[in-house]
Amino acid sequence: MSRRETLVKIVDTNIDHMISLSVLHLAQLGIKYGIFKAVASRPSYGELLAQIGVPNKPLLMKLVEHLKALGIIEETPTNLILNGFSYELKFPNEDYLLLLPDWIPMFEEIYKMVDFALISPHHPHVLMDFDKDADFWDIRLSSSFHSSYRELILRVGGIDRGVEVLDLGCGSVSPAFFGRHVGESGIYVGVDYSSGLLDIARARVEKENLPVELKELDVAVMKPHNSYDVAIMSFVLEYIQNRRNVLGRVLESLRDGGRLVVVDVFRDEFNNVEALEFFEGLNGDFIGYPAKAEIKRAILEEGFDVSFEDVGRSVLLVRKL
Amino acid sequence: MVAVIDPHVLRSLHRSELRRRILLYLYEIYPSATYLSEIARVVGSDPSNVRGALVGLGNRYNGESSLVYLGLVEEVVNNGFKYYRLTEYGKKVVEMLKDYQSYYRKFM
């Protein structure tokens, strides 16, 4: 098996298990906050919200909605019911060697944050804001899971010396990583709306004097003026409302033969993504994971001549013809 | 098990200039250990304050935020003398702190 194939399996497998554990933690929240016990007596939606004594009712509603999306709770026209949900946790033998341990403690931190978020969305122990909590995000982005998909992007996008790269939602770790690979003859432009993450990225880039340009811009409204060989969108589309417009502008910025690499938890490739969405939704800007089909359709509707390559389940390579 | 840095540890360091100075000095001399009065001399503080930052001291210093309690510094006893040395985890935290300086400046 090639290194690229191994990386594809590592990224896909770890996302599978992130989702699995999120399903279990969502079920745990249902028990912990007495939601299942309350639903067992078939209350109306309003009655349930009144019965569960947490101050942050909008988040409680979101929790109920996610439990509904997973099929654990069902809503009839008049009330909520439980429908005998069962869930099988699968650990195929071949997965063991692919599992990365260091995303688990990050998720444990996030699971703990839910308790505080149910008190108030602005509780100081909720550390999911890109700017205010850039240190926590940087720790997440430094994990071996994130390193694995960055290496995969490198291989899938053909990022090497002399290549010109645009990275949308670059975060704090990718700039130095890709900057090292494009070398002095290339250029890496990282765009992010979090000044905190860019501050951390800048400190690393300056330390190594890398050919990196960082721009504090909102990807949703930016319009790239230069042309690039490769564009990267890793785990950013879930924060963008108007994906079609953004994808159109990114494809416009690519030279003929240019490549767009999209990495994400595609909802048409992974089951039960709603569980992961609940926890990632502690970040107020999170909208929801995209579908691969939605991205392909948006790009084609924008009128671009492209070819698509599914690289495993979590990566989509778009070549501009 | 990969060491994961608790963001609360980073933030508690961000709030204490003395703890940060001690950590940076121990990072400079890593992996060597040194004794309390030497640390106090280098960071320009009173030995009792340095002791508080290292291991906690009565109600003036919160022991649960001390560098030893947080696992950033270890206390080594040799021939009846106590020495202090940065742990592997402490080294990782210092390296992160350096990257976070301009980001943390916004909160000051």
A69-78 pLDDT, tens digit per residue, is 999 999 999 9
What's the gap in Å between the CA of A286 and the closest CA on chain B?
21
Least confident residue range of A43-57, A159-173, A213-227, B91-105: B91-105
Average pLDDT over every residue of A126-145: 92
| Strand, coil or helix: A207 | helix
pLDDT the model gives residue B10: 76
What pLDDT is attached to residue B4?
63
Judge: B4–A105 Cβ closer than 8 Å, yes or no: yes
Q: How confident is the model at residue B1 (pLDDT cuts 50, 70, 90)?
A: very low
- Partner B contacted by A136 (CB < 8 A): yes
Contacts of B11 in chain A (CB under 8 A): 135
Give the pLDDT of residue B20.
Answer: 87
Residues 6+ apart with CB under 8 A from B21: B43, B44, B45
CATH architecture of the domain A3-119 equals Orthogonal Bundle (1.10)
Average pLDDT on A80-104 reads: 89
Give the Cα separation of A110 and A125 in Å (integer).
10
Contact B2 A144 (CB under 8 A): yes
Q: Is the pLDDT of residue B108 over 80?
A: no
* B64 within a domain of the structure (yes/no): yes
Give the residue on B whose Cα is nearest the Cα of A201.
B99
CB atoms within 10 A of CB A110: 21
Average pLDDT value for residue range A109-115:
93
Q: Specify the higher pLDDT residue, A310 or B80.
A: A310
pLDDT, tens only, A217-244: 999 999 888 999 999 999 999 999 999 9
The model's confidence at residue B61, banded by pLDDT at 50, 70 and 90, is: low
CB contact A109 to B (< 8 Å): yes
Give the Cα separation of B55 and B63 in Å (integer): 6
What pLDDT shows up at residue A206?
95
Domain that holds residue B99: 7-106
Instruction: Quote the pLDDT of residue A47.
Output: 96
Q: Which two tokens stand for residue A165?
A: 């790269």
pLDDT band at B101 (very low <50, low <70, confident <90, very high): confident
Burial class (CB in 10 A: 0-12, 13-18, 19+), A223: exposed
- Cβ of A112 under 8 Å from any chain B Cβ? no
CB contact under 8 A, B7 and A200: no
- Bridge-based pairing state of the strands A228-234 and A164-168: parallel
Residues 6+ apart with CB under 8 A from B46: B40
Q: How large is the average pLDDT for residues A137-151?
A: 95
Contact B5 A139 (CB under 8 A): yes
Contact A199 B7 (CB under 8 A): no
B6-15 confidence digits (pLDDT tens): 776 876 777 7
pLDDT above 70: percentage of residues in chain A: 100
**What per-residue confidence (pLDDT) applies to B62?**
60
Q: What is the mean pLDDT of residues B6-25?
A: 82
Q: What was the pLDDT predicted at B102?
A: 82
Considering the domain boundaries, does residue B1 fall inside one?
no
Tokens at A219, concatenated: 């990807």
Residues in A touching B100 (Cβ below 8 Å) = 135, 138, 199-200, 203
| Domain ranges (residues) in chain A | 3-119, 153-271+283-320
CA distance A102 to chain B (A): 6
**Comparing A3-119 with A153-271+283-320, is the CATH topology the same?**
no
For residues A194 and B107, which has the higher predicted lDDT (pLDDT)? Answer: A194
The pLDDT, as a whole number, for residue A94 is 86
- Res A85: pLDDT: 86
Do A200 and B103 make contact, defined as CB atoms within 8 angstroms? yes
Chain A residues with CB-CB distance to B106 below 8 A: 195-196, 199
Dihedral of the alpha carbons of A196, A199, A205, A210, in degrees to the nearest 10: 100
DSSP per-residue string spanning A87-123: ------GGGGGG--TTHHHHHHHHHHHHHHHTT-TT-
Q: Is B68 within the bounds of a domain? A: yes
The tally of domains found in chain B comes to 1
Sheet of B81-86: strands edge to edge?
B34-35, B81-86, B73-78
Q: How many helices (H) and strands (E) does chain A have?
A: 12, 9
Which of A101, A139, A203 has its CB closest to that of B7?
A139
pLDDT at B2 (0 to 100): 44
CATH 3.30.1490.20 fits A153-271+283-320, yes or no: no
User: In chain A, positions 64-103, which contact chain B (CB-CB < 8 Å)?
Assistant: 101-102
Environment class of A149 (CB within 10 Å of its CB; exposed 0-12, middle 13-18, buried 19+): buried
Establish, for the pair of chains A and B, how many residue pairs have beta carbons separated by less than 8 Å: 49
Q: Is residue B62 part of a domain?
A: yes
Chain A residue numbers touching B6 (CB-CB < 8 A): 109
Structure tokens at A122: 């602005």
pLDDT of A89 over the 70 cut: yes
B25: closest CA of chain A, how far (Å): 20
Question: Which CATH number characterizes residue B52's domain?
Answer: 1.10.10.10
Helix (H) or strand (E) holding A308: strand A306-311
Query: Residue for token digits 């070819």?
Result: A307
